[in-house]
A and B are shown apart, each in its own frame.
Chain A
Amino acid sequence: MGRRIGRRDLLKIGAASAVAAALSGCEFPRPWVHLEPYVRPPEEQVAGVGTWYASTCRQCPAGCGIIVRVLNGRAVKIEGNPQHPLNEGKLCPRGQAGLQDLYNPDRLQGPVRQAERGSRRYQAITWEQAIDDLRAGLSRAGSSLVVWADHTISGHLLDLFERLTAALGAPPPVVFDLYTALSGYAALSAADALLFGQARLPAYGMEEADVVLSFGAGFLSTWLSTTHYGVAFGSFRQRPLDRRGYLVQFEPRSGLEAAKADFWVRLRPGSEAPVAQAIARLIADGGVGPADRVSRARAWAPAVDPEAISSASGVPIDDLRRLAGTFATAARPLAIPGGALTGHGDAVAQAAAVQVLNVIAGGAGVGIAPGPPAEGLVAPVAAPYGRVQRLVERMRAGQVGALLVWGAANPAYALPPALGFVDALKQVPLVVSFRPIVDETALWADLVLPDRTYLEAWGYGVVEPSFGVPVVNSQQPVVQPLYNTRATGDVLLEVAKGIPAAAAALPWPDELSFLRERIAALPPGVFGGVGEEVEWARFLQHGFWQPRPGPGALQAPEARPQPVVVPAPSFQGAAGDYPFFLYIHMPVLLSDGRGADKPWLVGSPDPMTTLMWQTCAEIETNTAIRLGVTYGDVVRIMSPYGQVEAPVYVLNSVRPDTIAMATGLGHSALGRFASQEAEGPNPMALVGPAADASGTSMAWANIRVRVERTGRRVALAKFEDTRGSYGGFVNQAFADQYL
């Protein structure tokens, strides 16, 4: 083929696996090539004209609807599903990059066995052998089986795992991944349970709000639903200038949200929830706003001293008073709890402290997701971190007979090394990974049985949080599976046939029949159709089900008045030894690290630093001068639990006493792009094993660090320097004046 990569060279499509290159340059003189049409084309496809199939994006737990353009059996473009109520035809960058999961060059092409863990020598086996090995391992493990999944798992697959574990007497699957951990899913649900009696994720109607106080929420980059809140943000800003939404962002380092905010409060890490409480107190004391709000404020506001909180957090008391007044007098105010405030202290109380502001405001625009809309549908629920800690202890004690890890959870990468997960794995006789690509956890697995990527797989997803109307997404293969992979659901059903305890619990012949049976339980939806066949067809065609057109109005349920006690911020590491706060954040492209294997994500510029293929330690200008470092100097960041090395990026918009680091890199596996091309620190190496006071969350946001120079330098792969006028004289003037 040489170096010319002519797309028109290969118009062939095989009916079976698609990638056989029939171009034999030796026997065929150029310019002649082969042209292989279908053996039997799908009826709906016309050669040269794309067919659009609807499915669900699985790049994060939000569950946006997507449509995929398929041309001659190849998926060439993903777009948002214009009918879907969550994303309304729009899609975030991670969703757009989904094709590089499907066509990743480092995907496993079949099941493999690793004789020696950590050796990276994988021996290809057949599916029969793989299923036999798995069956034997599960039979031996019995009730000591542990299943670990990430939050993007399809409902039907989680259901099958739950049935399997229940049949074997094992505990239910653990749903835990770094994305939901750093977004605070478990704590947010628990806060809703505390206040509203329902342990479900909150939804915020930002499009209707006029004042939003966001306490560190990364709603435009990660958090609960990047695309939905991006769409909502557009509406939030859409209204004429005198009613344009007013956004206040509370965070120690400017991310996208602080950049777009009208007022950015650069508060001390750990003081988000105390500031929320101070604002509630000021509303109560000041008596500003409508009478019902003031009376609610007096009922709910905790007995805190706003002056003390002001000095502790670094927020001037006048600003606090002003924000309290703005919030109380707004027509539709919202307070949004972010992920960072759940990373320390008492995560549930902290999240609840912010939700209390919404209760004071009246609860309009806040929704508590109702849960799966039909019997038999399963939605993943993020496990509290305490459960993860106990699991690692059980593993270490040799009480776990088999560990099955599904999806992008990647605990060997995501969990702090101080927790000792990788060491504890040594005591687990069988470790199986189902990820289509070898990640850090699969490095320590005995068997890797690659599942199909989400573009080749069946499934459903209960959208959580949904915004006023329940939505169940459909997921269908848009292309023939590329390789010799099998759907994990089918593997489980096959395995269960040979385990007496499980065979009765999993009697279905294949996962598709199970899936259809579950979906048949949905009541008639907005797309009509009579009969199961037609309803199933509509479900696939439109990409989702909802009972009536949405989204609907959001109103929080009645809250039970109760005290919410937020402990004073405390940090891990003595201030003398560790002078800086560590602020860990998830960037929009790489998120929790699962984006690093896709060149479109890892090779595109980060919005704040414009770095590609790299992440860095972000240090404030004067601090950098004091430390004697500048862009590209490699520094060692040390916490009480570990250390990493990272290049410095001098960022004016971070607190001088804080070092900010992005998750996403520091991979030793996950393909060539993540592990060989990209370089960056994994900030989780600095985090300790502790949980917060409530046990729901990792204590990841209250780490202190110190910085040492290593004397080395790396060239930063920045985009901002390459384009001459970028940041230069002329466009800077434009920016000053018009942006």
Chain B
Amino acid sequence: MRIASRVRFLVCGAVLLALLWGGSYLSAGALPSALSWPRAPSTAAAGASPNPGFPPTVPFVPTRPPVPPQPVPFPHVAMVSRGVPCLFCHSGATRSPTAGIPSVYLCMGCHLVIGRDSPLIRQVRTYWEAQQPIPWVRIYRLPGFVQFSHRPHLAAGLNCEACHGDVGQMEVTVPYPAYKQMGWCLECHEHQPNPLPLTECQICHY
């Protein structure tokens, strides 16, 4: 019995360790060494100029379920290629922790006139006429125990693309692969000239 219980203990321990350390590393590609934060490639950290950490490195791509289709298949490229800045719709980014999703009212501000009969805009108009909010699928959703604020990042001069990727080229909005990994935030912060040290846990976790 003692041998059986010891074997059971070892098996449980091994499974536990595998889950803890290996789980997030299961992906296409080699398993990097465990217990280390993702590091930037050595070329980027050569020190020739203060590396802002752009473009942020993507050490691994976690598997995520695909984004379900949006109620209105909104193509960012259609707006951005016509010169509409991110802050026009996501105006909270400079003032608030959350950038915000534009209200139907904001969409109709232009689209009552512009392109009012195109198929996509007709869908938006249906929501406006019914006075119903559009039930977007939320792309960027940090876990409940993370408190992130857009405002200081924009005040520091960050571009939206730094974290959200080149949304202006997207037909279908998908999340930037490396987001939602704390190591990615840590890495970018490390490379700033005046970084807020994210090793202070209370900055995001409270």
Contacts and interface: CB of A to CB of B under 8 A. Distances in A.
Direct contact between the two chains A and B in their complex (CB within 8 A) = yes
Interface of A: 4, 6-9, 11-16, 22, 28-29, 31-41, 46-49
B138 A11 contact: yes
Contact of A48 (B67, B98, B102, B128): B98
Interface in B124-153: 127-128, 131-138, 141-144
Contacts, number: 89
Interface stretch (B50-58, B89-97, B115-123, B187-195): B89-97
Given A8-B141, A35-B136, A35-B138, A40 B105 contact: yes
A49 B151 CA distance: 11
Nearest to A37: B101
A94 B80 CA distance: 51
A14 B132 CA distance: 7
A11 B141 CA distance: 11
B105 A38 contact: yes
Contacts of B95: 46, 49
Interface of B: 65, 67-68, 91-92, 95-98, 100-105, 127-128, 131-138, 141-144
Most B C-beta atoms less than 10 A away, residue of A13, A41, A48: A48
20 contacts: A4-B144, A11-B98, A13-B133, A16-B131, A32-B138, A35-B101, A35-B137, A37-B101, A37-B103, A37-B136, A38-B133, A39-B104, A40-B103, A40-B105, A41-B103, A41-B105, A46-B91, A47-B100, A49-B96, A49-B97
A33 B135 CA distance: 9
Contacts of A46: 91-92, 95-96, 100
B74 to A, nearest CB: 13
Most A C-beta atoms less than 10 A away, residue of B67, B68, B101: B101
Contacts of A15: 131, 133
A306 to B, nearest CB: 61
Contacts of B132: 39
A29 B136 CA distance: 14
A212 B98 CA distance: 52
Contact of A22 (B68, B91, B135): B135
A152 to B, nearest CB: 35
Given A15-B131, A48-B97, 16 more contacts: A4-B144, A8-B144, A13-B133, A14-B133, A16-B131, A22-B135, A31-B141, A32-B68, A35-B136, A36-B134, A37-B103, A46-B95, A46-B96, A47-B96, A49-B95, A49-B97
B133 A33 contact: no
A162 B70 CA distance: 56
A13 B134 CA distance: 11
A9 B142 CA distance: 10
A38 B96 contact: no
Contacts of B92: 46-49
B136 A39 contact: no
B144 A6 contact: yes
Nearest to B146: A8
Nearest to A36: B133
B33 to A, nearest CB: 28
A33 B141 contact: yes
A48 B135 contact: no
A48 B144 CA distance: 15
Most A C-beta atoms less than 10 A away, residue of B102, B132, B135: B135
B67 A38 contact: no
Nearest to B128: A39
Contacts of B101: 35, 37, 47
A26 to B, nearest CB: 13
A96 B167 CA distance: 44
A119 to B, nearest CB: 39
Given A39-B105, A39-B128, A7 B144 contact: yes
A338 B98 CA distance: 51
A34 B144 contact: no
Given A8-B142, A32-B68, A48-B96, A40 B137 contact: no
A32 B105 contact: no
Given A13-B133, A32-B68, A48 B141 contact: no
A7 B206 CA distance: 13
A55 B178 CA distance: 46
A39 B109 CA distance: 12
A6 B97 CA distance: 17
Most B C-beta atoms less than 10 A away, residue of A8, A14, A29, A41: A8
A6 B146 CA distance: 11
A33 B98 CA distance: 16
A36 B104 CA distance: 10
Contacts of A34: 135-138
A227 B128 CA distance: 46
Nearest to B101: A37
A534 B60 CA distance: 59
B37 to A, nearest CB: 23
Nearest to A33: B138
Contacts of A48: 92, 96-98, 100
A32 B96 CA distance: 23
A9 B141 CA distance: 8
B158 to A, nearest CB: 17
A47 B98 contact: yes
A15 to B, nearest CB: 6
A705 B144 CA distance: 55
B97 to A, nearest CB: 5
B104 to A, nearest CB: 5
Contacts of B143: 6
A543 B19 CA distance: 56
A22 B135 CA distance: 8
Nearest to A24: B135
Contacts of B98: 11, 47-48
B114 to A, nearest CB: 19
Contacts of B65: 29, 31-32
Contact of A12 (B67, B133, B144): B133
Contact of B137 (A7, A13, A32, A39): A32
Across the A-B interface, give the 6 residue pairs with the lowest CB-CB distance, nearest first: A48-B98, A48-B96, A47-B100, A35-B138, A6-B144, A40-B105
Contacts of B100: 37, 46-48
A456 B1 CA distance: 67
A48 B132 CA distance: 21
A20 to B, nearest CB: 10
A33 to B, nearest CB: 5
A38 B68 contact: no
A35 B68 CA distance: 13
B69 to A, nearest CB: 11
Given A7-B144, A31-B141, A32-B68, A39 B133 contact: yes
Contacts of B103: 37-41
Given A8-B144, A47-B96, A48-B98, A39 B131 contact: yes
Contacts of A16: 131
A48 B91 CA distance: 11
A36 B132 CA distance: 9
Contacts of A32: 65, 67-68, 137-138
B144 A40 contact: no
Contacts of A8: 141-142, 144
A15 B128 CA distance: 11
